[in-house]
Amino acid sequence: MQNEHRPRALRFFDVLIKLLEHRGHKVVTRGHETLVIIGEIETQISLREASNRVYRTERNWTTSDLVPNGKLIFKAGKYSWDKEWRDNKTLLEVMLAKIVARLELDAKKEAEWRERSRLAEIQRAEEERIRREIEAIRKAGQEKFDLLLKQAERFDKAQKIRALVAAARANALDDGQISQKRKEWIEWASRKAD
């Protein structure tokens, strides 16, 4: 910034800071950044002098220089939230009320967006908790059903073994006597069925 425009820039920032503080907001510096704090929302602000690009030809190529033009540019925000005000027919000093109103409006929108995001996250977490509970109940029910099927299969096998043992015992009795080997097998098979 050219020295001749520095006093104007300082006066602009001084009035802006006083106006923001009068409205109950804070202006702080953090590192190389100047921040306006409106409620919980921090907005980066900056002031710079605009430049014109002046082209000149040297030998066989064209180069350019940036030459300050004395017009101030005030910028608020970063990335997609940024907004610039420039000196034109109307100077920045005349736009102070609009600037402060826009800063407050943007801070309000940001706070509302954060609150919607917070509530949406709470809702997502609750839906996930309910989904996990339903899944746990479904899984427990499936495990019980699988156990019931295994028990039914074991019962069915035990019934078949008992029927086989009963038939073998009846067959052995029809012969009149039961061999020791057959007796041991019947006892063993009965224990397995039980």
pTM to 2 decimal places? 0.66
pLDDT top residue among 178 and 138 = 138
Q: Where are the domains of the chain?
A: 5-104, 155-192
Predicted local confidence at residue 165, as pLDDT: 81
Cα–Cα nearest to 189, from 153, 162, 159: 162
Q: Cα separation of 177 and 164, whole Å? A: 18
- Percent of the residues in the chain that have a pLDDT greater than 90, as a whole number: 59
Residue 20 has pLDDT above 90, yes or no: yes
Examine the pLDDT at 90 and tell me if it is beyond 70: yes
Eight-state DSSP code of residue 91: -
Helices (H), 32-179: 96-174
Rounded to the nearest 5°, which phi and psi values hold at 50?
-70, 160
75 and 63 Cβ atoms separated by less than 8 Å? no
pLDDT grade, residue 176 (50/70/90)? low
Instruction: Report the first-to-last Cα separation within the chain, whole angstroms.
Output: 98
